[in-house]
Structure 1
Amino acid sequence: MATVTPDPRRWWALAALVASMLTLGFDMTILNVALPTMAADLGATTGQQQWMADSYIVVFAALMLPAGLLGDRFGRRRMLITGLGIFLAGSLVGALAADVNWVIAARAVMGVGAALVTPLALSVLPSLFSTDERTKAVSIISTASALGLPLGPIIGGWLLNHYWWGSVFLINVPMAAIGIAACVFLLPETSDPASPRVDAASTACTALGLGALVYAIIEAPDRGWGDPLVLALFAASAALLTALVLRERRSTRPMLDMTLLGHRGFLLNTVAATLVMFVLSGLLFVLPQYLQAVRGNDALGTGIRLLPMIGGLTVAAKGAPAAAQRFGARATVSAGLVVLAFAAFLGSRTTVHSGYGFTALWLSVTGVGFGFALVPAMSGALATLPRDRAGSGSGLLMTLRQVGGAIGIALLGSLLSSAFRDRLDVTGLPAGAADTAGDSVVAAHIVAVRAHSPQLAASADGAYLHGMGLVLLVCGAAALVSALLAAAFLPNTPVAGKEPQDAPRMAGAVTDAGQ
């Protein structure tokens, strides 16, 4: 087949996709800095505040895989536009909401839109870029998605300093509108007319099974891992996902191509990307509370102090594709994970007397390791996908990454909470105040102010640093084990510059990756 001339508008199209991914990325974290203000204005309880943040994540993770399949079936550009439209509508509802339940509903609607956009933004890349440019494009769009996480607190803090809390929703409207216009005018339509029909039962099992799993993981740290509701949710999730696998394996035209997980290239690169997100979620979970409660920064100052991670990511975004081309994906991913482990171990040495310079140092190293590990892993996984399964494969990859992040927050958050409560000295406090202080380092500082107890504030800082150190040690150990597994088992996928240019060979990459 003759080489197709690249579309001259492809980089503009990528810029629009990058803007969309940035918006989705910072929506994962932007609401956290607005919750205290929203709670005061709307009278939200603690549980309602949690669901204002979590409803987006739960729906996002639960629907990402079916969304990729819908793109394969009905057209990726069409579904991208639909997803951005749903995201825009949810943002408008959130900005105008006067009731906490409407805010929760709006965040859930935004999660539906985000679930459509995320896998399809990746799956349209093979239609825009030749194989020698695709690694660079994946690097740019993956970096944009990651950059959104630390940008959320910065943007949210700035907006709250100048406008009302609804502005954290309203900022999405022009971004989504630009994305819709770019999709209409710049993106070609791609689909797989021969793809299996969308199976409503399998879609329901996927969405409900993953939704129950993420819900249980989020609720477990507060309710306890032995809570009847948590156990019931885990059981329901296992039953639904088992039913999905059995149904798809019996189907002659399965909607979910389980054979993708049977290919070493896709499976192991996906596992590597998921483990990177597990580690990074732990780092991003402990840092804002440390910078805000222990170091005394406001929301905007906390976001700004996460910028060194962006600097490290920028370096990695430029260096990872070249490193993968020269040394191979296996060496690059393994090295990135080792750097990530080093950053976590270094961060675990933080004490109450450590200055911000030390935090900036290990944050920078974290960004470098994250970029060098994640970008080649995602590129390697996507390189094994034939064009006609790009949507479903991208959806599976992004879903597992999202679930990995949710598991990281839940497990590491539970460890942090337990270590903090065990180490906190509440001697002399009434039972109610002692129980409140043990909820979080923020709550402990509020109790300390009301009780005029500098000793409690100092104990809270020390207890939090103890828990944070344990979390970072676990992150470091997980990254190190992941590095060893990647070095031992990860296929050294072909570099971008040496891949075949024609579409038929792309389809054969799935078979080659399994050898």
Structure 2
Amino acid sequence: MVTVTHVVGTRHDPRRWWALGALVASMLVLAFDSTILNVALPTMAGQLGATTGQQQWMADAYVVVFAALMLPAGLLGDRFGRRLMLIAGLAVFLGGSVLGALAGDVNAVIAARAVMGIGGALIMPLALAVLPALFGPEERGKAVGLITAASALGMPLGPLVGGFLLNHFWWGSVFLINIPMAAIGIAACVFLLPETRDPATPKVDPVSTALSVAGLGALIYAIIEAPDRGWGDGLELAMFAAAAVLLGSLVLRERRVSRPMLDMGLLTHRGFLLNTVAATLVMFVLSGLMFAVPTYLQAVLGHDAFATGLRLLPMMAGLLVAAKGAQPFVARFGARAAVSAGLVVLAFAALLGSRTTVHDGYGFTALWLSITGLGFGFSVVPAMDGALGALPAARAGSGSGLLSTFRQVGGAIGIALLGSLLASAFRDRLDVAGLPGPAAHTARESVVAAHVVAAHTDSARLAASANMSYVHGMTLVLLVCGAAALLAALLAALLLPSTPVVRHMPREEDEETPAVAAPVADAGQ
């Protein structure tokens, strides 16, 4: 049976928490995939004969497509139904996972990852877009915290699950694990999640869509390739210039049309803009930090993939504490204080981590990882809540797409810049004296490669130098992360609104919102 229900009515429906469970299930699909492939790459490279560049694109094909499509994906959800597009995204992600499991060569794996990126682009912004319709300001912070916790759950569980699968099955099993998870997410959305849409949303403009996809694709591609090619490489400069021209053309086009696809007006709302910037800076710091730590646990401390996942759990524990405590903190002290304090805690964790040495063992790392999770939760949850709260209900999809795009680009920049810093510091510090030219070149590629060369040449000196060089590079990364978090904390303290912004739109629009709400399927009746 289908009943007509205003979107705002779902805020008092006891099933809204079951609907949140459907969103959490959807985000878990992405959370697992975000880290599980990294565990399988060495095995896949050996069996498929992939080069270093091909390995990179097995991971990055997903990121490029994902970031490039999030803006039009949010608009499609606003227009045709957020639940419908979320289910479509999960279905596409499931199909891409099947293709990945059946792939027989590197190019097929890369193509499958690109298909999965299309699904991911629909899942993330639309999962966030549904929250303002389900929860009022008093509950939305808790809901955002649970969504964030689900996203972060993939950090430790991805390596755990991936390590187990690779120990017992073939490499394609890391794709197969997505199939039941995506199926559960689809079922949860069908039976638990109400439909919301805005029929008045502007039609998808093919030209603007092409400009946004091409511009963001060129930007992310350039960021990803920069550490290998060098920031001054001719192709890099050309891609950055192309991205600037394409995205600039998009902005000019959208400012001239009467019903723009990309709602630039959202960026004029102080609450949305500044909270989005804060969430993006948090992702920059966290992405760089999480790029360095797993390799430290595996290559320097000598743990396998499964054990590495276990040792990332303290960060998850800190995040869960923050997810539970952020909302009461915001209620008492305000969102600005929560975001600023969270960023200070994140900075403290990074600076504490920069004191790590090769002789510290895991206990010290567990300490600053738990503090990292605490700072991440206290900063990103109120920031995302504030950004979502500033969105009018009719533009939740397009606004969430914009928020997700900024966060994804921030994460990609963090990995590219801080990864390049780490690689450069490692190469400069590594002692390869006495090694033949080819062996020295291989050792400088990564700490893992250096350990392989050390094992083949029976050189304990090279292994020790590799560990010390990597920790030196990680120290620099953590120092930059700490400085960036402190700068972000200062900006948040000075500029953020003191309390979450519920709406920045005229009252007339608020009163009209229920009129454009879609019929809500009364699931199970």
Scaled by the length of structure 2, the TM-score of the pair is 0.93
Which of 29, 37, 46 is equivalent to 1:40? Answer: 46
Q: Distance in 1 between matches of 2:42 and 2:123?
A: 29
44-53 or 125-134, which deviates more: 125-134
Partner of 2:55: 49
Q: Distance in 1 between matches of 2:224 and 2:317?
A: 30
Q: CA deviation at 1:292?
A: 0.6
Which of 5, 9, 13 is equivalent to 1:4? Answer: 9
Matched, 1:413 2:411: no
Q: Distance in 2 between matches of 1:3 and 1:347?
A: 45
Show the 5 A alignment for 1:322-471. 322-471=328-477
Structure 2: gaps spanning 5 or more residues: 1-5, 514-525
Contact 1:265 1:493 in 2 (8 A): no
Q: CA deviation at 1:503?
A: 8.5
Partner of 1:286: 292
Matched, 1:69 2:75: yes
Contact 1:331 1:487 in 2 (8 A): yes
Which of 241, 246, 250 is equivalent to 2:247? Answer: 241
Q: Distance in 1 between matches of 2:302 and 2:439?
A: 22
Structure 1: gaps spanning 5 or more residues: 508-515
Give runs of ≥4 in structure 1 deviating > 6 Å: none
Matched, 1:134 2:128: no
Matched, 1:147 2:146: no
Deviation per CA, 1:108-159: give whole Å up to 9, x if none.
1001001001110111123322332222111111221122233211211111
Q: Distance in 1 between matches of 2:256 and 2:202?
A: 14
Q: Distance in 1 between matches of 2:173 and 2:439?
A: 35
Show the 5 A alignment for 1:106-121. 106-121=112-127
Contact 1:386 1:506 in 2 (8 A): no
Q: Which amino acid aligns with 1:416?
A: L
Q: Distance in 2 between matches of 1:38 and 1:210?
A: 28
Deviation per CA, 1:249-289: give whole Å up to 9, x if none.
11111111101111111111000000000000111000111
RMSD: 1.8
Q: Distance in 1 between matches of 2:440 and 2:39?
A: 25
Q: Distance in 2 between matches of 1:376 and 1:506?
A: 27
Contact 1:328 1:495 in 2 (8 A): no
Contact 2:421 2:473 in 1 (8 A): yes
Deviation per CA, 1:327-361: give whole Å up to 9, x if none.
10000000000000000000000011112000000
Q: Distance in 1 between matches of 2:100 and 2:31?
A: 17
Q: Distance in 2 between matches of 1:340 and 1:63?
A: 30
Partner of 1:511: none
Deviation per CA, 1:27-63: give whole Å up to 9, x if none.
1111011011111221111111111111111111111
Q: Which amino acid aligns with 1:231?
A: L
Q: Which amino acid aligns with 2:319?
A: L
Q: Distance in 2 between matches of 1:179 and 1:63?
A: 21
Q: Which amino acid aligns with 1:474?
A: V
Contact 1:85 1:113 in 2 (8 A): yes
Q: CA deviation at 1:237?
A: 0.6
Contact 1:348 1:469 in 2 (8 A): yes
The 3-state SS of whatever aligns with 1:57 is helix
**Higher relative contact order (CA closer than 8 Å, sequence separation 6+):** 2
Q: CA deviation at 1:495?
A: 7.8
Contact 2:389 2:501 in 1 (8 A): no
Deviation per CA, 1:303-332: give whole Å up to 9, x if none.
111111001001001001111111100000
CA separation of 1:506 and 1:382: change in aligned 2, threshold 3 A: farther
Which of 480, 483, 489 is equivalent to 1:483? Answer: 489
